[in-house]
Amino acid sequence: MSYSQLQHEQDDAVLLLTGQWNLSRIADIDAELGAAGLPASPITLDGTRLQALDTATALALLMRLAAAGATIAGLSGLNRSHERVIEAVRSRMDDGAPGLRRTGHRPLAALGAAAVKLGWKLHCHLEFLGRCVAALGELARHPGRLRWKELAAQLQHVCLEAIPVVALVTFLIGMVLAYLFGMQAEKYGASIFVVDAVAIGASREISPLLVAVIMAGRSGSAFTAQLGTMRLTEEIDALRTLGLSPMQVLVLPRVLASVVALPLLVFVGDVAALAGAMAISDPLLDISALTFIGRVDSQLAFRHVAVGLAKGAIFGAAIALIGCRAGMTVGRDARSIGSSTTSTVVQGIVWVILLDALFAVLLQELGI
Amino acid sequence: MSAAAAIEIDSVVTRFGAQKVHDSVSFRVPRGEIVAVIGGSGSGKSVLLREIIGLLRPAAGRISVLGTDVWRASEEELARLRRRFGMMFQDGALFSSLSVFDNVATPLIEQARVPAHLLAPLVRLRIALAGLPPEAAAKMPSELSGGMRKRAAVARALALEPELLFLDEPTSGLDPVTARAFDRLLRFLADELGLTIVVVTHDLDTLLGIVDRAVVLAGGTVIAEGTVQDVMRVDHPWLRSYFANHGT
């Protein structure tokens, strides 16, 4: 199929355009024009046999002419609408200046940018923490401003609805721990120490960590998505203009609910982990339920449980703050909510583990 | 160009539950004209538009666009038809995570076989045709004003060289100066590029300024159809109060 034909009449070059010039054929048309050997001289466009011409193919034609250095000497036989299309395109064509400058990949610059971004992120976290504490201080002076309904709703979501999954996961991990310790301890005839290990390990470390990871995935992400959507739909701006503080109305109830909920969930986790270990101790290690409970009673000091519960409260505060901050600062596009939610979960888990390591060192030094 | 109408709507009935939105709506849109669909809020203008472009199935009736029966066509025919018309949604419906350039490039990359070296100039041409400055290409939708967002949406709707352009309330939320500039853009597209344009609008100035024909929906049916002058002569309570605000 031929769309164009170059003819020479006396000294004048004539480009004969034929057929349907539309977007679906643009690749063929452009290739044909490229191969036509357009001269760098004035060319007359003859459109007597042109059936259709759209702006895309007109652009392809004009660009090929410009690239060859040819100019349009005149138009002949083009109908009025095709002439108008060519004119509309010609008057709006840019001179090929790149509209979008794409910078190349520069690793050092990327590293620097990432470092600056990390620093900025830490700064923003601190600022948000400060604002939150200030809002908490204000709440202490005017306790009536606490949103009890919102707090209760958040408690239901963060605490009550999380109990089944927390119980299941910690029960199974308790079983796995008892099984692993038991296999080793049995070799030395020290099976009974499995109870000590599971009781202390679960209440001090495993249960708070697992609960925090579950909470980061369940509630931290939900906080970000909820507040982020509210920001996109300008609900947060609306709150501000109504004289309400988003901190008081949205953030504090979530943070307080998390601080209250996590120790409770950690306790659920402690019990479930012990139950899991107890369930497997009887058949595997010949430690009866009564012996197990007695051993726990005598060996599990209250401070271990207290440390776990306290860690839970701090983890809860960290995750809620991260989630709410990410939600309040989400960008104004659809993808941003997704990436902020992901970032909440990742940051939540990383911060929990960082804090946990800090606690381990600190409590070791303090001898607790 | 054939003399057949670009759009033929024949006794369309639409129901949402017990509520009847359209009760036998029929009209034709001739090629190459700007046709306005007007009517009060809740008269089902936007619903009708969604039915024409194949997003919402009417309870009964026939809708034919560019010779294809929208609700009897196969999925393949419908896909081919969709490449022949463009739609501008009320708030633009630009892809919020893509720049204006990428928004306009998306249909070209997905639906057309455009040589790589022509893609960027073609996108820039679309952006220029919609009356946006070249530097708008790099911006994100959230960085644009309402009027620019609508123009960017037009640029995207124009991407695949449509024969037919649908616009849902193109001038709502724009100041009068920007709105009139938008009207001139529509007139330019119809006159210079030969597009058929269907515009759902409330804007009396659009109606009196650039529209060739108007279709008036009220009470679930077409109460008037014809040139704007014809429509203004029709005696109907809704039309009387609609035109009463204008000094004629």
Question: Model confidence over A84-116: pLDDT tens digits?
Answer: 888 888 888 766 554 455 566 788 989 999 999
Spatial separation of the C-alpha atoms in residues B4 and B30, rounded to whole Å:
7
At A67 the pLDDT is 84
A90 to chain B, any CB pair closer than 8 A? The answer is no
Beta carbons of B81 and B66 less than 8 angstroms apart: yes
Q: How far is CA A339 from the centre of its chain?
A: 2
pLDDT tens digits for chain A (368 residues)?
577 777 777 667 888 888 888 888 888 888 888 888 788 888 888 888 888 888 888 888 888 888 888 888 888 888 888 888 888 888 887 665 544 555 667 889 899 999 999 999 889 889 999 999 999 998 889 888 888 888 999 999 999 999 999 999 999 999 999 999 998 888 888 888 999 999 999 999 999 999 999 999 999 999 999 999 998 888 888 888 887 888 888 999 999 999 999 999 999 999 999 999 999 998 988 889 999 999 999 988 999 999 999 999 999 999 999 999 999 988 877 788 889 999 999 999 999 999 999 999 999 898 87
pLDDT in tens, B90-112: 877 888 888 899 998 888 888 77
At A218 the pLDDT is 93
> Given an 8 Å threshold on Cβ–Cβ distance, is A23 in contact with B115?
no
**Non-local CB neighbours of B242 within 8 Å, separated by 6+ positions:** B38, B204
> Given an 8 Å threshold on Cβ–Cβ distance, is B114 in contact with A26?
yes
> Given an 8 Å threshold on Cβ–Cβ distance, is A26 in contact with B120?
no
Nearest Cα residue to A332 out of A247, A223, A246, A230: A230
Q: Which two tokens stand for residue A359?
A: 């606690």
Beta carbons of A209 and A307 less than 8 angstroms apart: no
Residue appearing with tokens 């759902």: B200
User: Number of helices (H) and strands (E), helices first, in chain A?
Assistant: 15, 4
> Given an 8 Å threshold on Cβ–Cβ distance, is B134 in contact with A93?
no
DSSP 3-state of A104: coil
Spatial separation of the C-alpha atoms in residues A344 and A327, rounded to whole Å:
9
> With contacts defined as CB-CB under 8 Å, which chain A residues touch B2?
none
At A335 the pLDDT is 81
Spatial separation of the C-alpha atoms in residues B38 and B204, rounded to whole Å:
9
- For residue A103, how many other CB atoms are within 10 A of its CB? 6
Spatial separation of the C-alpha atoms in residues A16 and A49, rounded to whole Å:
8
At A278 the pLDDT is 93
> With contacts defined as CB-CB under 8 Å, which chain A residues touch B96?
332-335
* Best B193, B195, B196 residue to mutate vs chain A (most A CBs within 10 Å): B193
CA distances in angstroms from A278 to A186, A196, A261, listed in the order given: 16, 12, 26
> Given an 8 Å threshold on Cβ–Cβ distance, is B125 in contact with A81?
no
Nearest Cα residue to A150 out of A253, A223, A48: A253
Q: For the purposes of burial, counting CB atoms within 10 Å of the CB of A187, is it exposed (0-12), middle (13-18) or buried (19 or more)?
A: exposed
Question: Is residue B25 predicted with pLDDT exceeding 70?
Answer: yes
B73 to chain A, any CB pair closer than 8 A? The answer is no
At B161 the pLDDT is 84
> Given an 8 Å threshold on Cβ–Cβ distance, is B120 in contact with A99?
yes
At B178 the pLDDT is 83
At A309 the pLDDT is 95
Helix, strand and coil percent figures for chain A, each rounded to 5: 75, 10, 15
> With contacts defined as CB-CB under 8 Å, which chain A residues touch B99?
100
At B205 the pLDDT is 84
pLDDT in tens, B183-242: 888 888 888 888 899 999 888 888 888 888 999 888 888 888 888 888 888 888 888 888
Which residues are paired to B164 by β-bridges? B85, B196
> Given an 8 Å threshold on Cβ–Cβ distance, is A334 in contact with B112?
no
> With contacts defined as CB-CB under 8 Å, which chain B residues touch A85?
192-193
At B3 the pLDDT is 52
Give the closest-approach CA distance of A93 to chain B in angstroms.
Answer: 6
Spatial separation of the C-alpha atoms in residues A124 and A118, rounded to whole Å:
10
Beta carbons of A205 and A356 less than 8 angstroms apart: yes
Report percent pLDDT > 70 for chain B. 97
> With contacts defined as CB-CB under 8 Å, which chain B residues touch A87?
192
CA distances in angstroms from A246 to A132, A209, A230, listed in the order given: 11, 30, 11
Half-sphere exposure of A59 (CA within 13 A, CB side): 30
Task: Decide the pairing of beta strands B7-16 and B19-29.
Answer: antiparallel
Question: Is residue B248 predicted with pLDDT exceeding 50?
Answer: no
